[in-house]
Every structure is written in C-alpha cells, then in structure tokens.
Amino acid sequence: MRCGVVVFPGASCDHDVYHVLKHVLDQEVTFLWHQASDLKGCDLVVLPGGASYGDYLRPGALAAQAPVMAAVRRHAERGGLVAGIGNGFQILLEAGLLPGAMLANRSGRFVCRDVHLRVERTDLPFTGRYREGEIVRMPVAHGAGRYAHRPAALAELEAARQVVFRYVEADGTVPEAAADETGAANAIAGLCNAGGNVLGLMPHPERCAEEILGNTAGLAFFAGAVGAARGAGGGR
C-alpha cells in the first residue's frame, strides 16, 4: 500500500502529512509533484494545507488547475481514497470533487487555535477509528474556512449524510452563529462526496497525531484511511 502527498507551490503542510504517514504509521509514502501526470500507483492521496500559490485569486483556485489534479480526479472516480486538509479541502471544492465553496471567515480574521469537532459518521474510510458522536479536538489555521452552499443543497448534503465533521462546543452542542468566528454553514468542518471516498476537512489532523504534541486525535484519521486502503487491496 502506497500513500501519496501532493506538493503544490507555497503549500506548507506536505512534510507534516508525510511525517505522520511515514514515521508514525510506518507506511510507504511518496511526494507527488503538482506537475505530475500520474499518482505513482498510490492508493491513498492527500492534498495538504498551507496556502498553495499564495492563495491568489481564491484559496485553492490555482492549485485546482494543476496537472496532477487530472490524475487525482481519475483516482477518485475509480473509488480511490482522496483526503484534502485545510487548503487541500479548498482545492477539492475548487476542482469540483466536493460540492460547495469556501469563503473568508465571517470574523475577517485568520483563525489559528484548537477547535472541537463532532464526528458525524464512522462508516467511512477516514473515520472508522472514531466513535459516532465522539467529540475530538483539532487545530485550525485558516482565513477562509467558511463553508457555503445554497440552502437547498445544504439540506441535500445533510439528508445524504455527507457532513462528516461539525464544529461544536466542548460539550458537543453546535455554537450559536454569533459566537462562531468562522461562520461555516451548518457548522460544517468536513464533508465527503456521495461515494464516501473523497473527504475534505478544514482542521489539521496531522498537527495532533503524536503524544509529543499533547493530542493524538488526528492519528485515527490517518490510521483509518491507511487501514481502509490496505483492506481495499493495497497490501501493506
């Protein structure tokens, strides 16, 4: 089983994701250059965070046009696992691999802090190591994390159970709109496609995947994806 981490100009979290997959989970990992035309046989592909192309035009807009994204699209259409974290989530939205759009935070400020999330589904490759309804703490770092979609489309996403992670208070309640500086519609922090093999989330699980960091909530995200990819025929 091989994991691939896409490298976009300006992105800053690719080595963090590589470290978790390679050194924490002991997986075979390769970097995938943004100009590549294939995924080198990778079973799990991660689009990392970190302001690709300096967030010019819109966060993720330029990266979504990179040559490697054609290969990512083909991989996703075949049922391959794709995860987008932070800016990677924004790239998936801009590429049309996930529905909706990401807008600037309602507060107008860059938000960099730990947040609480409620796991809404555990029947997905990325969430099988969590418990449904579990409250986890992960860090966010973004200026444009306000998920948006049309009201009717939001209702469809909820009905289809495509919302995977939701921003909540420590007790699991959804925050009042006035208290939510991100302003994400329906408090959406992460969602998947209809097939459940493509997932985007704004928080950074790679930054909370080791004991030395004081938080291992993110490790289950990667461990679940690795286990699912291996079970799908990717080998070790």
Give tens-digit pLDDT for 160-195. Answer: 999 999 999 999 999 876 557 789 999 999 999 999
pLDDT at 57 over 90: no
Give tens-digit pLDDT for 101-140. Answer: 999 999 899 999 999 999 999 999 999 999 999 999 999 9
Percent of the chain with pLDDT over 70: 97
Give tens-digit pLDDT for 91-105. Answer: 999 999 999 999 999
pLDDT at 19 over 50: yes
Q: What mean pLDDT do residues 149-167 have?
A: 98
* Residue 236 binned pLDDT confidence (cut-offs 50, 70, 90): very low
Measure CA 98 to chain center: 11
Q: Closest by alpha carbon to 63, among 34, 100, 84, 97?
A: 34
CATH no., domain 2-234: 3.40.50.880
Burial of 183 (0-12, 13-18, 19+ CB in 10 A): middle
Q: Measure the CA–CA gap between 95 and 98, rounded to whole angstroms.
A: 8
Task: Report pLDDT for 177.
Answer: 63
Measure CA 46 to chain center: 8
Q: Closest by alpha carbon to 182, among 99, 80, 110, 90?
A: 110
Percent of the chain with pLDDT over 90: 91
Q: What mean pLDDT do residues 78-94 have?
A: 98
- Look up residue 127 and give its two tokens: 């969430």
Rg (CA), the chain: 16
Render 147-194 in DSSP notation, one character per residue: EE--HHHHHHHHHTT-EEEEEE-TTSPPPPGGG-SS--GGGEEEEE-T
Q: Which of 47-56, 73-82, 121-130 is least confident?
A: 47-56
Mean pLDDT score of the chain: 94
Q: What mean pLDDT do residues 27-52 have?
A: 97
**163 bridge partner residues:** 191
Q: Closest by alpha carbon to 91, among 7, 183, 184, 207?
A: 7
pTM for this one?
0.95
